[in-house]
């Protein structure tokens, strides 16, 4: 039977709350608001302890409690959670509380009282990812984490960096700048959308490797379509060839239920304000311990920090409050349960996709099988411009989606989240069904 996954460090829940209370100040938060909100999530989770994740995914009573943990604008249906997600109220309350606390003599409170407590956050993130705290840096987003790697690994003119035609634009911009400045070579591989099998993605990388290849960059979940990449196979491929493999986990961390060992990766970067629901401007960078010394920090750091993961946090003055409120996001994520959360996200995707997939001119850009996709899917309505459709959905129906226009495909990207209701997805399907059958209204 499925049970609630243990909180970070495999402590029992009461012990973890005690640790959080000491390390993060939970006991001092305004009028016990956060404790009460957390208690609601715990009680709901206990009611479904006996159910496997796939059955819990359809238990609307349980998910109503989770939906109520968010304070959102229900006049707008947000199906663009892949960009940035709202935080549950307990995270926002924590952020406000820590912000007020650090405003009380900031040079003392922020730097000497609050900032040292971020080590508790580092430990919680490391436990969630399944690595040592000495391998996790707390950053501001996935872009910062990945740029630290893409700029920080030593390369010589003519060395090749290999990625796909579907990589994130900011990462491609980073690589093109390095190409202009240092004469390294950016090479991009192409594979079918959707691929017939995951082997097609691995094989595309394998065929493109040359004697000059030094680095491969792979998206765990492709932001354009929601395609899950065979990261373990690509990391194993890279290791067998002596290559460095960087994993862009922006859409995978706290979306899919996995650990570092499942990927066998040496480098991983992700945002926390997407699927972990942490404050905006938070991310993680993982580097395997023995690799840290060979990667330059994005901003200057001392020689004495060469092998210290914290050198990647040398960014100057920053808010301690934002980092500490990650603790409540970790609590909320563990309260739902990573396996339950992934199952729910996949269920929501199937809920809307199954209503649309047999309509005329409708094509899903990822396969429905769990190894191919989870909560994110892009759908193409043949003959309908994605930008015009997205504009119609929002201007007429207040449904927020993401238009995707790529050289190889196009569509609208749909990313519901745990606070999304089936009723909201029914409204979306009703509008898209009408468009698929009759076109956009004049």
Specify if 79 maps to a domain.
no
Instruction: Please provide the average confidence, as pLDDT, over all residues in the chain.
Output: 92
3-state DSSP assignment of residue 286: strand
Q: Are residues 182 and 233 in the same domain?
A: yes
Specify if 2 maps to a domain.
no
This prediction's pTM: 0.91
Q: Kindly report, residue by residue over 237-271, the tens digit of the pLDDT.
A: 999 999 999 999 999 999 999 999 999 999 999 99
Q: Are residues 123 and 219 in the same domain?
A: yes
Selected residue with higher pLDDT from 43 and 430: 430
Q: Are residues 259 and 295 in the same domain?
A: yes
Q: Are residues 346 and 417 in the same domain?
A: yes
CA distance 331 to 353: 31
Lowest pLDDT segment from 1-5, 97-101, 135-139, 207-211: 1-5
What pLDDT was estimated at residue 12? 44
Provide the token pair at 245. 């493999």
Q: Are residues 308 and 159 in the same domain?
A: yes
Q: For residue 2, which of 70, 57, 39, 41 has the smallest C-alpha distance? A: 57
Return the residue matching tokens 């922006």. 250
Give the domain-ending residue among 303, 336, 369.
Answer: 336
Give the domain-ending residue among 257, 291, 320.
Answer: 320
Count, residues in the chain = 442
Over residues 386-398, the mean pLDDT reads 98
What pLDDT was estimated at residue 133? 98
What pLDDT was estimated at residue 360? 87
Q: Are residues 247 and 165 in the same domain?
A: yes
Specify if 46 maps to a domain.
yes
Q: Kindly report, residue by residue over 3-45, the tens digit of the pLDDT.
A: 333 334 433 444 444 444 444 444 344 546 787 888 888 899 9
Specify if 378 maps to a domain.
yes
Residue 223's Cβ-count burial label (10 Å; 0-12, 13-18, 19+) is: buried
Q: Are residues 161 and 236 in the same domain?
A: yes
Instruction: Provide φ and ψ at 163, rounded to 5°.
Output: -145, -165
Q: Are residues 171 and 106 in the same domain?
A: no
Q: For residue 246, which of 147, 174, 312, 180 has the smallest C-alpha distance? A: 147
Q: Kindly report, residue by residue over 88-128, the tens digit of the pLDDT.
A: 999 999 999 999 999 999 999 999 999 999 999 999 999 99
Cis peptide bond upstream of 194, omega within 30: yes
Specify if 232 maps to a domain.
yes
Q: Are residues 414 and 360 in the same domain?
A: yes
Question: Rounded to the nearest 10 degrees, what angle do helices 13-24 and 326-336 cross at?
Answer: 170
Q: Which residues contact 345 (CB under 8 A, 6 or more apart)?
A: 255, 374, 375, 416, 417, 418
Provide the token pair at 428. 């979306």
* Beta-carbon-side half-sphere exposure of residue 306 (alpha carbons within 13 Å): 5
Residue 371's Cβ-count burial label (10 Å; 0-12, 13-18, 19+) is: exposed
Q: Are residues 365 and 384 in the same domain?
A: yes
Specify if 442 maps to a domain.
no
Q: Are residues 350 and 425 in the same domain?
A: yes
What pLDDT was estimated at residue 364? 97
Looking up residue 365, the CATH number of its domain turns out to be 3.90.1150.10
Specify if 177 maps to a domain.
yes
Domain of 139, in residue numbers = 119-320
* Domain count for the chain: 3
What pLDDT was estimated at residue 38? 80
What pLDDT was estimated at residue 64? 96
Over residues 213-223, the mean pLDDT reads 98
Q: Are residues 166 and 232 in the same domain?
A: yes
**Percent of the chain beyond pLDDT 90?**
88
Looking up residue 188, the CATH number of its domain turns out to be 3.40.640.10
Specify if 136 maps to a domain.
yes
Give the domain-ending residue among 320, 351, 382.
Answer: 320
CA distance 384 to 436: 8
């Amino acid at each position: 039977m499925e049970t609630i996954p243990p909180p970070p460090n495999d402590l029992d829940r009461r012990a973890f709350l005690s640790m959080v209370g000491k390390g993060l100040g939970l006991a001092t938060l305004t009028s016990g608001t956060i404790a009460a909100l957390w208690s609601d999530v715990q009680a709901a989770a206990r009611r479904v302890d006996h159910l496997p994740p796939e059955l819990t995914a359809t238990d609307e009573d349980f998910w109503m409690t989770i939906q109520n943990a968010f304070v959102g604008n229900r006049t707008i249906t947000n199906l663009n959670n892949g960009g940035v997600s709202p935080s549950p109220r307990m995270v926002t309350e924590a952020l406000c509380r820590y912000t007020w606390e650090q405003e009380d003599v900031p040079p003392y409170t922020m730097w000497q009282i609050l900032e040292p407590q971020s080590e508790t956050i580092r430990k919680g993130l490391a436990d969630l990812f399944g690595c040592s705290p000495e391998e996790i840096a707390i950053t501001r987003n996935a872009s910062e984490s990945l740029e630290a790697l893409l700029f920080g690994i030593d390369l010589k003119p003519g060395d090749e960096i290999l990625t796909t035609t579907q990589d994130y634009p900011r990462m491609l911009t980073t690589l093109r700048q390095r190409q202009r400045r240092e004469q390294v070579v950016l090479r991009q591989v192409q594979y079918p959308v959707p691929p017939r099998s995951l082997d097609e993605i691995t094989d595309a990388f394998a065929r493109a490797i040359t004697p000059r290849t030094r680095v491969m960059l792979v998206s765990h979940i492709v932001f354009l379509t929601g395609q899950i990449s065979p990261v373990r196979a690509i990391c194993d491929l890279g290791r067998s060839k002596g290559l460095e493999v960087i994993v862009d986990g922006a859409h995978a961390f706290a979306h899919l239920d996995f650990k570092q060992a499942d990927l066998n990766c040496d480098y991983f970067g992700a945002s926390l304000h997407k699927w972990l629901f942490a404050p905006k401007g938070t991310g993680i960078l993982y580097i395997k311990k023995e690799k840290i010394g060979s990667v330059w920090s994005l901003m200057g750091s001392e020689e004495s920090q060469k092998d210290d993961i914290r050198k990647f946090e040398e960014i100057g003055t920053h808010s301690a409050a934002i980092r500490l409120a990650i603790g409540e996001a970790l609590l909320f994520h563990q309260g739902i349960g990573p396996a339950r959360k992934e199952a729910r996200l996949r269920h929501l995707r199937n809920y809307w996709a199954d209503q649309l997939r047999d309509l005329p001119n409708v094509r899903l850009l990822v396969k429905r099988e769990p190894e191919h996709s989870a909560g994110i899917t892009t759908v193409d309505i043949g003959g309908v411009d994605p930008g015009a459709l997205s504009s119609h959905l929002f201007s007429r129906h207040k449904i927020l989606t993401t238009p995707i226009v790529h050289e190889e495909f196009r569509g609208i990207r749909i990313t519901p989240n745990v606070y999304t209701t089936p009723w909201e997805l029914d409204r979306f399907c009703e509008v898209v069904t009408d468009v698929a059958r009759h076109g956009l209204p004049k």
